[in-house]
Amino acid sequence: MRSLHIIKRLTIAFVLVLAPLTSTVAQESAVVVEGERFELGVEPVAGETYVWHIFTDTRLATEALPPNVVFVNGNNGPVVTVEWNQKGLFYYTVAAFGVSGCINMKVGMIRVDEIKQTPAISIRVNKNPICPGETVTFRATATRPGTNPIYQWYKNDITVGDNESYYTENAIQNRDGVRCTMTNTTLKNGPVTVESNEITMQVETIIASFSIRDNVGNVPGRVQFKNNSVGAKFYYWNFGNGSTSYDVDPVVDYSYDGTYRIKLIAINPINCIDTISYPYTLLFKGLFIPNAFAPTVTNGLGGQFKPAGVNLKRYRIEIYDNWGHLLWESTKLDDNGRPVESWDGTYNGELMPQGTYMWKASAEFVDGSVWQGSDPGNGNKQLFGTVTILR
């Protein structure tokens, strides 16, 4: 219960002569209704005794008597409990008697309202739906709570929080239910507990995720980012090469080998954010085998059969005639993993005749991956093929 201190330590002794009151002081922040018990109190001083009286008029001539007003535990002492059983304005006095015979008196007023409604409570939350891990505050609004009501909060029927009219939480899960009870302990017929509405919380799950597919359309350095995010509506990409995008599944062309930090920020409709990033190492790699060349010298330029590749760790190419004789082979690579040597179409110094010859190749790239072969145009990669000498 709430006490209002109306007498402080006495330093001057005097006798109060009662006279008509022109103004009175109401109990601070008191909400008193019929049938409610309410405390009146003063700061006690050692050795003093106290006597309380309650009146129905400003002249303090007519004293309020039971059953309209009842001193539950008597009218002596620095704190008394009063049961107010009648609506209206009441005036009270408290006289303090000191050990030296000095008397001090204080007068106050209290308003008792008619019972118009029973206790009730409702709750609200500052935000719903929310993002994962977001802090929210639930607040209770009570009707006729009495003095010092008792609040009890529940999350999924488990007691949480403190005895406060609010409850703050940062670990709400989707579908959590929050409610509150309020107990008015000051009613004549005993405590009354009422229950609030229940708020079911909605937590918007969001997960940022993506996968990478490189060499899109057989174009070295062309990378497609596949968006696998859950619960998102807006996206922001940073590709680590100075370029960004708001597309769902962007395609990016890289120009150089390197390791790039790819970052995706996923945002849902209520601005929940999830971020993911990881490095992507790009290696331009490939091996191309020509299918024809013309070794005949034209305008001083001689044609050569030369495989083209990059970032090869090891490599071998062999040329055979139709009878299975090895005509030429090479394994030499430069510092960038590119084939160095070419075949001029001769064998033992003699130019081979026009026609079709067989080649066989194998290779491994610097990242440890193995060359799967050349595509002759049917989608099936092969480690062998033909090359035609033209005249």
- Please report, for the chain, the start and end positions of each structural domain, with discontinuous segments joined by +: 1-114, 120-200, 210-282, 286-389
The confidence score (pLDDT) of residue 17 equals 32
The confidence score (pLDDT) of residue 161 equals 94
Instruction: Specify the CATH architecture of the domain 286-389.
Output: Sandwich (2.60)
pTM more than 0.85: no
The confidence score (pLDDT) of residue 34 equals 81
The span from the CA of 350 to the CA of 327, in Å, is: 11
The confidence score (pLDDT) of residue 246 equals 97
Please give the radius of gyration of the chain, using alpha carbons only, rounded to the nearest integer.
46
- At residue 216, what are phi and psi to the nearest 5 degrees? -65, 130
The confidence score (pLDDT) of residue 220 equals 85
Question: Which DSSP state fits 367?
Answer: T
Paired with 273 in beta bridges are: 267
The confidence score (pLDDT) of residue 116 equals 67
β-strand pairing of 384-389 with 292-293:
parallel
The confidence score (pLDDT) of residue 20 equals 30
Q: Which bin fits 366, alpha (ψ -120 to 50), beta or left (φ > 0)?
A: alpha
Spell out the CATH class of 210-282. Answer: mainly beta
The confidence score (pLDDT) of residue 199 equals 98
Q: Which residues of the chain have pLDDT under 50?
A: 1-29, 299-301
Q: Which CATH fold would you assign to the domain 120-200?
A: Immunoglobulin-like (2.60.40)
- CATH number for 1-114: choose from 3.40.50.720, 3.40.50.300, 2.60.40.10, 2.60.40.420: 2.60.40.10
Q: Which two tokens stand for residue 369?
A: 């991956």
> 85-123 in b/e burial notation, b at 16+ Cβ within 10 A?
beeeebbbbbbbeeeeeeebbebbbbebeeeeeebebeb
The confidence score (pLDDT) of residue 16 equals 35
Cα within 13 Å of Cα(173), Cβ side = 3
The confidence score (pLDDT) of residue 11 equals 26
Residue type at position 232: A
Identical fold, 120-200 and 286-389 = yes
The span from the CA of 213 to the CA of 227, in Å, is: 11
The confidence score (pLDDT) of residue 234 equals 96
